[in-house]
Amino acid sequence: MELTLSVIKADVGSIGGHTKPLTAMVEKASSRLRQAVKDNLLIDGMAYHIGDDIILVMSHTAGKNDTGVHQFAWDTFIEATKIASEHGLYGAGQDLLVDAPSSNVRGAGPGVAEVTFEHKLSGHRPAESFMLFAADKCSPGAYNLPTYLAFADPMYCAGLMLPKMIKGFAFDVIDMNHADKDSIVRLNAPEDGYKIAALLRDNERFGIDSIWSRTYDEQAAAVSAQRLHAIAGKYTGKDDPVVLVRTQGIFPAPEELLMPYAKAHYVGGGSRGSHVMPLMPVPINTPASGMYCLPIVSALGFSVDKLGQFSAGYIDFFDSKAWDLVRLKAQEKALHIRDQGWSGAAMLPYGELEYGGFRDTIEELMQRFKIREAD
């Protein structure tokens, strides 16, 4: 069977600031997913939240960008928005940027990551498993470094030295400043490794769109690399991206994908989406209540049975004491950079300052500059 995994996420309102949705909103999403399975639109589905973003994880046979699946996700976010509005939540409907999506929700606000593959549980894929990273208070470029390291650097992924992976992976890198159509370049690791790094070092402009096995021509990963500010033409919230990664066998193992997150590396985001802050690994359903909207990332692991259903249980990788040290490190790194407030590297450069207001303030001042005439 041609199986598609679709992850569609949006922030449609949160309690007392940009913190977390109401439980009733996530429950509404879960009950709609159960109904969609009964109606045969989906094979399986699950909903959770990270910070103020609701994540829908779905399996089905309708392919990528399917109107039915995307419309279902949109309607689910509309229903959750209604609950947010009734309760007076902050930013109700924040990421729903259009009145109605045309054929799919790409470009309409919600983040989308989808992977389609032949699912037969035999040959080079005797078992199917995948991981889902979901982050809040940051942009898609937050995944550039950890995903590059897991798919292109044997210091982090020893599996790259094995026959099934030694040819490496192809990276489709997207120029996120293009809002109307996707602008993509394909680069092959390992030989284009430095070129990939040359693009991915710029987290705000270039992101990973997808990654492919060069040995088996199978899609390994998809990132929701659509940027809200490019779509809306102004800041409406941070993108808060997801990555869907198939794991094990011909792909990196979960531990290889997780290891780079021990860095708690600095990313663009945090308060007003305009700062540089470390990314802290947390369990799912964690509110965004860390210092200065500390960016957070969660990681879930699933197995998929022969019918395309998710395993009854999932693994929440960062829900473990093993990650406590990294959480402390992230908070220490946050304290260090917050020490310098608005100065230099602590805030994003002008072009990336998210709330229009910061830029309005500077532009108004620019009008007042005058060339000093010589005495």
Q: Which residues bind ligand 13P (CB under 6 A)?
A: 11, 18, 51-52, 91, 94, 136-137, 237-238, 240, 271-273, 293
Instruction: Name residues contacting Mg ion, limited to 237-276 (CB under 5 A).
Output: 240
Picking from 23, 99, 31, the residue whose alpha carbon sits closest to that of residue 54 is 23
Give the Cα-Cα-Cα angle 49, 55, 60 (nearest 5 degrees).
145
Q: DSSP string of 220-254?
A: EEEE----HHHHHSS-SS----EEEEEESTTS--H
Retrieve residue 98's tokens. Answer: 């259009």
Indicate the residue among 136 and 256 with the shorter CB distance to ligand 13P. Answer: 136
The nearest distance, CB 286 to ligand 13P, in angstroms, is: 13
Q: How far is CA 185 from CA 140, 175, 203, in A?
A: 17, 8, 16
Q: How far is the CB of 273 from ligand 13P (least distance, A)?
A: 5
For ligand 13P, which is the closer residue by CB, 219 or 226?
A: 226
Between 108 and 165, CB nearer to ligand 13P? 108
Whether omega for the bond prior to residue 190 falls within 30 degrees of 0, making it cis, is yes
Which 4-23 positions form the footprint of Mg ion (CB under 5 A)?
A: 11, 18
Q: Which does 273 bind (CB under 5 to 8 A by kind): ligand 13P, Mg ion, none?
A: ligand 13P
- Based on the residue annotation, tell me whether 44 is a catalytic residue of this protein: no
Residue 354 found at the interface with Mg ion (CB under 5 A): no
For strands 280-281 and 296-304, give the pairing.
Answer: parallel
49 binds Mg ion (CB under 5 A): no
Q: Give least dist CB 316 to ligand 13P, A.
A: 20
Among 5, 15, 32, 53, binds Mg ion (CB under 5 A): 53
Rounded CA separation 306/309 (Å): 7
272 binds, among ligand 13P, Mg ion, none (CB under 5 to 8 A by kind): ligand 13P
Q: Which residue's CB is nearer to Mg ion, number 53 or number 128?
A: 53
- Is 238 assigned a catalytic role? yes
Which letter, b or e, does each residue of 258-288 get, where b requires 16 or more Cβ atoms within 10 Å of its Cβ? Answer: bbbbbbbbbbbbbbbbbbbbbbbbbbbbbbb
CB burial of 325-342 (b: ≥16 within 10 Å; e: otherwise) equals ebbebbbebbeebbeeee
The Cα 22–Cα 91 span in angstroms is 13
Using the rule CB under 5 A, is 136 a contact of Mg ion?
yes
Binding mask 66-105 for Mg ion (x = CB under 5 A): -------------------------x--------------
DSSP string, 160-179: GGSTTTTT-EEEEEEETT--
Q: Cα dihedral angle (19, 235, 222, 282), rounded to 10 degrees?
A: -20
Q: Which of 9, 64, 238, 333 is catalytic?
A: 238
Residue 271: contacted member of Mg ion, ligand 13P, none (CB under 5 to 8 Å, by partner type) = ligand 13P
Based on CB atoms, which residue is closest to ligand 13P, 107 or 241?
A: 241
Is 11 one of the annotated active-site residues of the chain?
A: yes
223 vs 304 by CB, closer to ligand 13P: 223
Q: Which of 143, 156, 216, 235 is catalytic?
A: 235
Question: Is 243:147 a contact under the CB 8 Å cutoff?
Answer: yes
| Alpha-carbon gap, residue 375 to 365, rounded angstroms | 24
Residues near Mg ion, by CB under 5 A: 11, 18, 51-53, 91, 136, 240
| Residues annotated catalytic, as ranges | 11, 235, 238
